[in-house]
Amino acid sequence: MTSVTEKGTAVLGIDVGSVSVNIAALDANGNIFHQASAYHHGDVKPCLVGLLKNTALKNIGYVSKTASTPATIFSHSVFDEQVSMIRTANHLHGNSFAGILQIGGEKFSLSLFDELGNYIGAKHNTSCAAGTGSFLDQQAGRLDLSSSVQISEHALSNTKERPDIATRCAVFAKTDLIHAQQEGYDIGQICDGLCFGLAKNIANTLFKQKNMFKRKHLFNQNDVNSDDFGSDNFGSNEFDSKVLFCGGVSKNICVKNHLESILGIAFFMDDASQFYGAIGAALCLKDQLALHEPQSFKGLDDYFIETAQKESYRYPELALTLSDYPDFTCFKSFLFEEVEIDIYQDPKASPIARGFLGLDVGSTSTKAVLIDDNGCPIVGFYTKTASRPVVAVKKLFKACASFLNEYQLDMAVAGCGTTGSGRRISGKIIGADIEPDEITAHATAAVNLNKNVDTIIEIGGQDAKFTLLKNGMVTSSVMNTVCAAGTGSFIEEQASKLECSLTDYSARTEGVTSPVSSDRCTVFMERDINHFFAEGYEKNEILASVLHSVRDNYLTKVANIGKIGNTILFQGATARNKSLVAAFEQKLNKPIHVSKYCHLTGALGVALLIREQKLTQTNFRGFDLWKKHIPVRQETCLLCTNHCKLTIADIDGDPQAYGFLCGRDYETQKKIVQKNHYDLLGLRKQHARIKYDTPVTHEFTIGIPAALHLFEDMEFWQHFFSHLGIRTITSKGLKNPVKLGKTIANAEFCAPVVALHGHVSHLMEQADFVFLPFYFEDKSKKKDFRRQQCYYTQFSPSIISCLQVSDQKRLISPIIRYLYTSFHTKMELYKSLKNLPGKGSFSFFDIVMAYDRAIEFKAQHTKELKKIYQEQTKDTPGIKAVFLGRPYTILSKSMNNNIPGIFANLGVKTFFQDMLDTKNQDLSLIRPLLTEIHWKHAATILEAAYIAATTKDLYPVYISSFKCSPDSFVVDYFKEIMEQFNKPYLVLELDEHDS
């Protein structure tokens, strides 16, 4: 037997992933005698050298690597990562497994095998899916934890309710983390929510059928589509269903536990689970050693080779040429525990009798500013939020109390306020007098700093905003949508990945050229960065590239370049990065103004606003709050069907709560019913009541999904079936159709289509049949107009019929909306209903009569809706809002996030687009556009938008769903119409997550 110690016989396998380097050494008999791993932080060579120093290099004669490993590393051969993984599994476990779940730093996958060990197929995460190892590492940094290992440790300690965290996208996760911390969830609960969300995302992506490893499987590879192994084509023979779990995330016990709980599968792990790539690469090379000559490695440098010249640079050096950058030095600056303190005035120079306090509780940082009677900053405080806003506020208060004590200042706080994502809970706790939004706060500070400001670029930790001003007043503000990446947290995450402190970032990138990277999304940006690592770019070059990506992302996704003015203020902590400011100056070719208070402008704006209030009394509880124990808990209010999620902070036995939709106080143990409360959905419901004047003559029940195209025709079809003597039920009361739909949907759809899956699944259990007709296109009287449903809607009955929960025999799917006549529609209904069971049958005449009566009802209902608008707006001045969008989103309580209720609580009357009279309006200015638009709802939205733009006191609120392709085209035309008439507007984009 060949010994491990024999020189030149061992094989070294190297696997470099997006976050770590893994190596494994095998002797001539295939025994693993060494394995090691380390994070490379973007610097692969020194990391690998460090690992190799502890390896018996004299024994190494052959080197193999995975395809993801940089070309600068020598190897005899290169092997695909998945092939390497499977080879390791076969080597360690033979053919005793049915699948391999691999979750690495950037990718995850599920590979399936038959009882003989033959490969059947594999499924991978999509290019933009999160939920990988690097995702957990990012969130660990956001939570101020050292690594994802700590996430697992905290999660395992949790025994309380966990929050819902959307982990399929890093940006959604950031949003949900903020809301979880606002609601007072502790670190253990949040970590548990992250691990559960990641497990759920993996389960939804890879395991479409929960029992897929408990069923019989088909082992003929030719009969199985490798891209769709979630079908029923798995089955004839039972076999051992052991599933291996490998990759770095396999070490996260909490994720493993949640996966096993969700899927009902016991995953098997071994000690080599994170080295499958490196071991497999070595094994694959060992299988073909006869084709290679051993290499004599004299030193560590022999493991590296020179590569081809790097691709040419495109971005020029980062340097400011037009802008005056501020000097951030002040009277005194120091670190108090974990709080940065900047003192701007000499406290002993002149007595300061009173001050005004502003707090900005953001997603990544919490800031505070004290100003004097003249509005000048006295002192500023800055610390990380770290998902614990209450703790962060207490840290600032402790620092402020220390400052006042050190300088023996007897300063009275004449007023205080909060802004930022955590303003509600922090405002309740500190006794805030005002809680302005961030746009108002930043604009107030900007005007105070430069009265000529017309443009604000604000890039915060979680979001980015683009604000335009005229004469000191905000005229427009755009915030990044859920999918826009490239905010401050992204810069921070990449800096951490590259082992660069934020304080050194600017100096390391100033005067540096860089390669071009993507600006589309965090995931694509990170992949470019990993590619740059592999190509051998220097860290500083990659750091500079990140800044260009953030700049381009902002200018593409958030700002309107054509409207950027000449006096531009850059605000937010990211403005302290001089190189990022240079990147904006370089692109815009305009001077960029930065204030020495740029990182504090939100808090400064609040302080200035409270100063303007001229209060005679304040609610401020005092800086000694830092000494108090302030427990935060969650409750669900059960006094009405709203079931509001409440956050309660106890301060010396005084509960402070927020989250009530009705506006009641915590002590008031009944729902507050507001007098003269305007209720859009209630008004519409009153005028859609159905009178069942025909007795039920059939024993079966038909279910009508309250989703997608059927939502707006719900009452129409209830009328139709009632006239036939058929009892109907709807799914309008279904609480969370999206959550139910996600468990059965076979693809990534928009939230409304996912909800349809849930509605149909629910009705399959409640009704004998489910009515889900085809709606293709509304027939138009004008030959040059096409009014089609969206593509998902058109094919939704076919999509639903493919689900396991759907019994095709119980689905009634006639073609209802198309270019045919009403006679054809009635015939389609007759053919689909005539053979239903029960006493008697339907004649074609019965169908005709029922359909015509339903048409009459709909016509009358449409008139009544328009009458409501006329009555509610007649002789009633003041702001009114009209919702534009799809009825199944805006008018559905389970989908609209209570947006109509929020407006009503503000005293604003709201209407839906179908309540406006578009037929009797002159639409000639947009008629060419209406001719080109072929989508039904898109055309309706633009018609209503034009009316809103030309109607005094009527303001449009465009509500869309994430992933809605027709809306993504139409929203730009909507904005152009509004801007043509100088009409303010609001665009909101909803998704399936709750925040």
Instruction: Tell me the two tokens of residue 189.
Output: 């609960």
Q: What pLDDT is attached to residue 547?
A: 92
State the average pLDDT for the chain. 84
pLDDT category at 696 given cuts 50, 70, 90 is confident
- Of 108-122, 432-446, 794-808, highest mean pLDDT: 432-446
User: Residue 542 above 60 pLDDT?
Assistant: yes
Percent of the chain with pLDDT over 70: 87
**pTM of the predicted protein model:** 0.74
SS3 525: helix
- Secondary structure (DSSP) of 627-645: GS---EEEEE--SSTT--E
Asked whether 579 and 500 are in contact (CB, 8 A), the reply is no
User: Residue 66 above 80 pLDDT?
Assistant: yes
**CB hemisphere CA count around 340 (13 angstroms):** 18
| CA distances to 583, 770, 948 from 323, in Å | 12, 65, 41
Question: Which is higher by pLDDT, 341 or 678?
Answer: 341
User: Residue 10 above 80 pLDDT?
Assistant: yes
Q: What pLDDT is attached to residue 220?
A: 32
Q: What pLDDT is attached to residue 523?
A: 61
Tens of pLDDT, residue by residue over 715-761, are: 999 999 999 989 999 999 898 898 888 878 877 788 899 999 999 99
Percent of the chain with pLDDT over 90: 43
Tens of pLDDT, residue by residue over 144-194, are: 787 778 899 999 999 988 887 766 566 566 667 767 776 778 889 989 988
Nearest to 926 by CA among 911, 940, 912: 940
In sign, the C-alpha dihedral spanning 529, 530, 534, 538 is positive
Asked whether 296 and 36 are in contact (CB, 8 A), the reply is no
Q: Could you count the other beta carbons within 10 Å of the beta carbon of residue 765?
A: 8
Q: CA-to-CA distance for 220 and 619, rounded, in angstroms? A: 74
Which residues contact residue 520 at a Cβ distance below 8 angstroms, ignoring those fewer than 6 apart? 485, 553
Q: CA-to-CA distance for 460 and 572, rounded, in angstroms? A: 5
Q: What pLDDT is attached to residue 697?
A: 79
Which residues contact residue 299 at a Cβ distance below 8 angstroms, ignoring those fewer than 6 apart? none
Q: What pLDDT is attached to residue 218?
A: 30
Residue length of the chain: 995
User: Residue 235 above 50 pLDDT?
Assistant: no
Q: What pLDDT is attached to residue 234?
A: 32
SS3 815: strand
Strands (E), 552-694: 568-571, 592-593, 632-636, 645-651, 654-658
Q: CA-to-CA distance for 783 and 786, rounded, in angstroms? A: 8
For the residues 930-954, what does the mean pLDDT come to? 92
Identify the DSSP state of 313: P
- Which amino acid is located at 367 in the chain? K
Tokens 């009541």, located at residue: 689
Question: Which is higher by pLDDT, 230 or 31?
Answer: 31
Identify the DSSP state of 871: H
Q: CA-to-CA distance for 676 and 523, rounded, in angstroms? A: 49
For the residues 878-887, what does the mean pLDDT come to? 94
Nearest to 851 by CA among 704, 720, 721: 720
For the residues 990-995, what does the mean pLDDT come to? 62
Name which of 354-358, 397-401, 636-640 the model is least confident about.
636-640
Question: Which is higher by pLDDT, 19 or 899?
Answer: 899
SS3 333: strand
Q: What pLDDT is attached to residue 2?
A: 44
For the residues 860-885, what does the mean pLDDT come to? 91
CB burial of residue 66 (10 Å; 0-12, 13-18, 19+): buried
Question: Which is higher by pLDDT, 355 or 965?
Answer: 355
In sign, the C-alpha dihedral spanning 140, 141, 145, 148 is positive
CB burial of residue 709 (10 Å; 0-12, 13-18, 19+): buried
**CB hemisphere CA count around 790 (13 angstroms):** 23
Q: CA-to-CA distance for 317 and 544, rounded, in angstroms? A: 9
For the residues 255-271, what does the mean pLDDT come to? 89
Asked whether 431 and 359 are in contact (CB, 8 A), the reply is no
Tens of pLDDT, residue by residue over 93-109, are: 988 888 999 988 778 88
CB burial of residue 8 (10 Å; 0-12, 13-18, 19+): middle
User: What pairing do the DSSP bridges indicate for beta strands 339-343 and 332-336?
Assistant: antiparallel
Nearest to 777 by CA among 868, 709, 851, 693: 709
Tens of pLDDT, residue by residue over 387-436, are: 788 889 999 999 999 999 998 888 899 999 999 888 888 888 899 999 99
Q: What would you report as the CA-atom Rg of the chain, rounded to the nearest whole angstrom?
A: 32
User: What pairing do the DSSP bridges indicate for beta strands 119-124 and 243-246?
Assistant: unpaired
Q: What pLDDT is attached to residue 216?
A: 38
Strands (E), 242-331: 243-246, 267-268
List own/partner pairs for 225-234 with CB under 8 A and 24 or more apart: 225/121, 226/120, 226/121, 226/122, 227/121, 227/123, 228/121, 229/112, 229/120, 229/121, 229/123, 230/123, 230/746, 232/804
Name which of 99-108, 231-240, 492-501, 910-919 the model is least confident about.
231-240
SS3 76: coil
- Secondary structure (DSSP) of 147-168: SHHHHHHHHHH--SPPPP---S
| CA distances to 559, 634, 992 from 969, in Å | 17, 41, 21
Instruction: Tell me the two tokens of residue 994.
Output: 């709750």
User: Residue 128 above 70 pLDDT?
Assistant: no
pLDDT category at 236 given cuts 50, 70, 90 is very low
Q: Could you count the other beta carbons within 10 Å of the beta carbon of residue 757?
A: 27
For the residues 354-374, what does the mean pLDDT come to? 92
Task: List, in sequence order, the alpha helices (H) in 750-813.
Answer: 751-766, 791-801
Instruction: Tell me the two tokens of residue 901.
Output: 């209720």
SS3 847: helix
| CA distances to 146, 199, 625, 773 from 252, in Å | 15, 11, 38, 46
User: What pairing do the DSSP bridges indicate for beta strands 243-246 and 99-103?
Assistant: parallel
Which residues contact residue 805 at a Cβ distance below 8 angstroms, ignoring those fewer than 6 apart? 744, 760, 761, 764
pLDDT category at 780 given cuts 50, 70, 90 is confident
Tens of pLDDT, residue by residue over 831-846, are: 988 888 765 577 899 8
Nearest to 385 by CA among 400, 368, 402: 368
Q: What pLDDT is attached to residue 305?
A: 86
Q: Which residues pair with 79 in a beta bridge?
A: 66
User: Residue 226 above 50 pLDDT?
Assistant: no
User: Residue 491 above 70 pLDDT?
Assistant: yes
Domains along the chain with CATH numbers = 1-123+205-307 (no CATH), 315-322+451-518+542-594 (3.30.420.40), 338-449+599-628 (3.30.420.40), 631-668 (no CATH), 682-861 (no CATH), 869-990 (3.40.50)
List own/partner pairs for 815-822 with CB under 8 A and 24 or more apart: 815/773, 815/774, 815/776, 816/773, 816/774, 816/775, 817/709, 817/773, 817/774, 817/775, 817/776, 817/777, 817/778, 817/779, 817/789, 818/774, 818/776, 818/777, 818/779, 819/777, 819/779, 820/779, 822/851
User: Residue 382 above 90 pLDDT?
Assistant: yes
Q: CA-to-CA distance for 926 and 906, rounded, in angstroms? A: 32
Identify the DSSP state of 327: P
Q: What pLDDT is attached to residue 432?
A: 93
